[in-house]
Amino acid sequence: MKKFYFLIALLCLFGCNNTSPKNNPTDSDSSATAQINANHKEVAYYNDGQIKFVQEYLNGIKHGTYKNWYESGKIRTMGNYYMGFRKGIWSWYSEMGRLDFQVNYDKQVASL
């Protein structure tokens, strides 16, 4: 029985993996992104150097401002996260800069 517990302890010890997941952009086009840290601001770029999006993190969780731009440099999406959930008014814009629609998120429930 002691050998069984010892074997389980060894499996747990060596089976645990402390590596963090790699950052994968959500869009299929290639972009350069920074490694995700616990508290930081992630910035991704299009191939031509134009900023694609900015996302703030707190303890590794999306928390704070999120902004996303078209490749032309015009704003596409703007909103805030609170502890991983969308919170408050989120706005989506057309490539021409016109406000397409807004959604108010409260406790992850959207109100149009």
pLDDT in tens, 58-83: 999 999 999 999 999 999 999 999 99
In terms of Cβ atoms closer than 10 Å to its own Cβ (0-12, 13-18, 19+), residue 81 is: buried
Band (pLDDT 50/70/90 cuts) for residue 38 is: confident
Residue 109 CA from chain centroid, whole number: 19
State pTM to two decimals: 0.63
- Taking Cα atoms as reference points, which of 102, 100, 51, 107 lies closest to residue 81? 107
Q: Which residues pair with 29 in a beta bridge?
A: none
- Residue 101 pLDDT more than 50? yes
Judged by DSSP in three states, 6 sits in helix
